[in-house]
Amino acid sequence: MMSDATGPDVAALSKQLASTDAEQRAAAAELLSQAGEDAAPAAVPLVAACGDADDRVREFAVAALEDLGPPLAADIPTLIKLVDSPDPLVAYWAITLLGRSGKTAAEAVAVLVACVESSADLSVRQRAAWALGKIGPAAGAARGTLKRAAGQGDERLARLANEALRAIGG
C-alpha cells in the first residue's frame, strides 16, 4: 500500500488498523509510521490504536503520531472525545494532537481543563497543561486551573502550567 508515485493509501491503512487480525493492524501501523506528515488523515485511528492490545501496533502508532504534525481540523471533535479515554496513552496522544492544532482546537479547552484537574495520569495532566498553552489566548478559561496547577508539587506540571499562562496572557 505504498508507492513512490502516490504515497501510502492512508484511507485503506486507516481501515486496516481496525482489522481483527493483529498482524494486519501491525502492518498498517508500521506503514503509517513511514508516511510522515502524509499520515495526518489517519490521526484518529492512530490515536485509537494507541490502546491496541498488541505492542507492535501501539509502538508503530506512536511513531506515526510523533511525525504526522497537526491533525485535520475536521478530526478535532473526535480527538476531544478520545481525551476521555480510560487508556492514558490514547488520552495523551489525543491531547498532543489537540495541542498541535493550536487555536483551532479552542473547543477542547473545557476537556483539557478537566484533564489538568482530574486525570489520574500525571503525564496526561502535564500534556493537557502544555496543550492549553499551545491553544493560547483562546484558552483564557483555563487560567484558574493553570494557576492552581502551577502551585502544585510536580515540577514539570508547574513549569508547563506557568508557560501556558504566559502563552494565554491576560
Partner 1 sequence: MGNRIRTRLIAVCLVATAMAVSSGYDPCVIEAADSSPRLVRIDMAAQPPLPRLVPISYAPQPAAAAVPHSLPGPASPPLVSISYAPAPAAIKPLAIQAIPTPAYEPAPATVYAPPASTPPPAPAPPVYQSAALPVPLPVPVAPPLPVSLPPPLPVSAAPSVSAYVPLPAYVPPPAYAPPPAYAPPPVTAYAAPVPTPASLPLPLPVPLPVPSASTALAPPPALPPMPPSPAMPSQAALPPAPPAAPANAPSAAPAAAPASGPAGGKPTDAITICSFNIQVFGESKISKPQVVDVLTKVVRKFDIVAIQEVRAKSDSVIPQFLSAINADGSRYQFVIGPRLGRTVSKEQYTFIYDSTRIEVDPSSVGTSPNPGDRLHRPPLHARFRVRANPPESGFSFWLVDTHTDPDEVSAEVNALADVFMEMKALRPDEDDVILMGDLNAGPPQFGKIKQIPGVGWAVSGVTTNTRRSKTYDNLIFDTRTTTEYTGRWGVLDLQNTFGMSIDKALEVSDHNPVWAAFRPLETQQVAGAAMPSGVTR
Q: Which stretches of the chain bind partner 1, using CB under 8 A?
A: 2-4, 26, 30, 33-34, 36, 50, 55-56, 58-60, 62-63, 66-67, 88-89, 92, 96, 99-100, 116-123, 125-126, 130, 145, 148-149, 151-156, 159
Angle among Cα 48, 43, 162 to the nearest 5 degrees reads 90
- CB-nearer residue toward partner 1: 81 or 148: 148
Residue 166 has, within 13 A of its CA and on its CB side, a CA count of: 7
Q: How far is the CB of 168 from partner 1 (least distance, A)?
A: 17
Q: Which residues contact 75 (CB under 8 A, 6 or more apart)?
A: 43, 44, 97
- CB-nearer residue toward partner 1: 116 or 168: 116
Query: What is the C-alpha to C-alpha distance for residues 107 and 49, in angstroms, rounded to an integer?
Result: 24
- CB-nearer residue toward partner 1: 5 or 74: 5
Using an 8 Å Cβ cutoff, are 49 and 61 in contact? yes
Q: How far is the CB of 124 from partner 1 (least distance, A)?
A: 9
Q: How far is the CB of 29 from partner 1 (least distance, A)?
A: 9
- CB-nearer residue toward partner 1: 143 or 159: 159
- CB-nearer residue toward partner 1: 17 or 116: 116
Query: What is the C-alpha to C-alpha distance for residues 92 and 71, in angstroms, rounded to an integer?
Result: 14
Q: How far is the CB of 133 from partner 1 (least distance, A)?
A: 11
Q: How far is the CB of 131 from partner 1 (least distance, A)?
A: 9
Q: From residue 31, how far is each of 2, 7, 52, 102 by CA, in Å?
A: 8, 10, 16, 27
